[in-house]
Amino acid sequence: MPAGSEKRTNARREEIINACEKLYQTMSFKEITIKQIGEVTSFSRTSIYNYFETKEEIFLALLTREYKMWVEQLKDVLEKYEKLTVEELAGIIAGSLADDDNVGYIADNPVYGACANINAFALGVKFVNPRAKVYLEWNSIKDNDSEENLAKKNISIISNQDMITPGKSKRKFGLYKASDSDKHLAMPVWHWGVFYEKLIQSIMSGSWSKDEDGDNVKALNYWWGMSAGVVDLIYSESLPSATKRLVKLFEKELKEARFRVFEGELKDQQGNIRVEEGKLIDPEHIITMDWLLDNVVGRLPRYDELTDNAKLKMALQGVVKEEE
């Protein structure tokens, strides 16, 4: 590493990364050479080796930068509410099929975004059945049998984990009707082929951009949802025709961004107004949401109630923290 201030060193590293980014818009990784990168910068090929030992190291730095920028842009991504729209659609189906106004929701870990998913589902239930209650259970609580607890309440319509978890004996997932056959009603799906196609197209087109001052960079949006064809909800053909028509109507509204999940007056379990009429909830508050809607029966688990595996997740991304 050459002598000089840290600021100057970082500036030169950024210049090299920017040069690599510029070339990458029109050339493949295999085609780009250190010499070509040097021709785009203000210093020689030999000088580049003072900051990066290999071409691969430069590209790794570029990818790392893009990842960090993506994290910083998460608030903007959340404004699309893509995952939440799937949860609400599942809630609409559950609410329309609940014979006794009771629906079950089995959550995994109380991480960031978990309460938003629960509340989105609860809003879907409320939309079609204002009297219905969503009974909440957590799989991450020690010695807790979520399905048995819901069975004791005679709740048959249950939303469980999105997909099968490898290595676990229980195979229940998605939205289903608890019975001897555990009839599946709906589940989210991810079209990974579409996802990777869009990701590659974004990289090849150089769709990230810089502000005029060159300091602020807009990250690639790696999160596409229903409107992009990446996330969808599949449901059973055995659903009542009226329910299927309702779901298709909401799918259309959500994909065309004419309907927002967290909109209108929303109250928590204590009756406090969390979102006022005519206002949209701030994206930052969606991801850090730690409250539950007034039609949810249940609570967030305490830290000491969680399994050891769940406690590890809480350290980085949990809304439930260890008491000091």
195 contacts 230 by C-beta, under 8 angstroms: yes
> Do 101 and 152 share a domain, yes or no?
yes
Whether residue 17 is contained in a domain is answered as yes
> Do 147 and 254 share a domain, yes or no?
yes
3-class state of residue 263 by DSSP: strand
CATH number, position 241: 3.40.50.2300
Q: Which of 54-58, 67-71, 76-80, 254-258 has the lowest mean pLDDT?
A: 76-80
What mean pLDDT comes out for the span 134-151?
A: 93
| Domains identified in the chain, total number | 2
Q: Which residue has the higher pLDDT, 79 or 92?
A: 92
234 contacts 228 by C-beta, under 8 angstroms: no
pLDDT at 211: 42
Whether residue 90 is contained in a domain is answered as yes
Who contacts 32 (Cβ-Cβ below 8 Å, separation ≥6)?
20, 23, 24, 55
Q: Which residue has the tokens 């629960």?
A: 118
Who contacts 134 (Cβ-Cβ below 8 Å, separation ≥6)?
91, 103, 104, 105, 118, 121, 122, 125, 293, 295, 296, 297, 298
What mean pLDDT comes out for the span 264-292?
A: 86
Who contacts 36 (Cβ-Cβ below 8 Å, separation ≥6)?
23, 27
The pLDDT > 70 percentage for the chain reads 73
Q: Which residue has the higher pLDDT, 292 or 259?
A: 292
What mean pLDDT comes out for the span 258-281?
A: 84
Q: Which residue has the tokens 């590493």?
A: 1
> Do 83 and 146 share a domain, yes or no?
yes
> Do 128 and 47 share a domain, yes or no?
no
Which of 3-7, 24-28, 48-52, 289-293: highest mean pLDDT? 289-293
CA angle (206, 208, 212) in 5-degree steps:
115
> Do 150 and 62 share a domain, yes or no?
no
Whether residue 242 is contained in a domain is answered as yes
CATH number, position 14: 1.10.10.60
Which segments within the chain are labelled E, that is strand?
102-107, 133-138, 157-159, 175-177, 183-190, 209-210, 217-218, 231-235, 266-267, 273-275, 296-297
Task: Identify the band that residue 75 occupies on the pLDDT scale cut at 50, 70 and 90.
Answer: very low
pLDDT at 191: 66
Whether residue 309 is contained in a domain is answered as no
Q: Which residue has the higher pLDDT, 117 or 86?
A: 117
Token representation of residue 244: 């299927």
> Do 43 and 99 share a domain, yes or no?
no
Q: Which of 84-98, 181-195, 236-250, 278-292 has the lowest mean pLDDT?
A: 181-195
What mean pLDDT comes out for the span 107-133?
A: 89
> Do 101 and 231 share a domain, yes or no?
yes
Domain span holding position 172: 78-191+227-299
Whether residue 200 is contained in a domain is answered as no
Quote the mean pLDDT of the chain.
77
> Do 248 and 127 share a domain, yes or no?
yes
> Do 119 and 156 share a domain, yes or no?
yes
- For the entire predicted model, the pTM comes to 0.63
Whether residue 109 is contained in a domain is answered as yes
pLDDT at 225: 57
Q: Which of 16-25, 73-82, 118-127 has the lowest mean pLDDT?
A: 73-82
pLDDT at residue 282 greater than cutoff 50: yes
pLDDT at residue 252 greater than cutoff 80: no
Which of 15-19, 94-98, 188-192: highest mean pLDDT? 15-19
> Do 116 and 149 share a domain, yes or no?
yes
pLDDT at residue 247 greater than cutoff 90: no
> Do 134 and 245 share a domain, yes or no?
yes
Segment 185-218, tens digit of pLDDT: 887 776 667 666 766 666 666 654 444 444 444 4
199 contacts 222 by C-beta, under 8 angstroms: yes
Whether residue 131 is contained in a domain is answered as yes
Whether residue 170 is contained in a domain is answered as yes
Segment 287-300, tens digit of pLDDT: 889 999 999 999 99
pLDDT at 212: 41
Q: Which of 40-54, 198-212, 259-273 has the lowest mean pLDDT?
A: 198-212
* Residue after which a domain boundary falls, among 19, 43, 66: 66
For helices 55-72 and 6-24, angle between their N-to-C axes, nearest 10 degrees: 90
Nearest CA to 283 out of 312, 308, 261, 258 is that of 261
> Do 56 and 89 share a domain, yes or no?
no
pLDDT at 48: 87
Which of 8-22, 71-85, 287-301: highest mean pLDDT? 287-301
pLDDT at residue 142 greater than cutoff 90: yes
What mean pLDDT comes out for the span 251-272?
A: 79
pLDDT at 221: 43
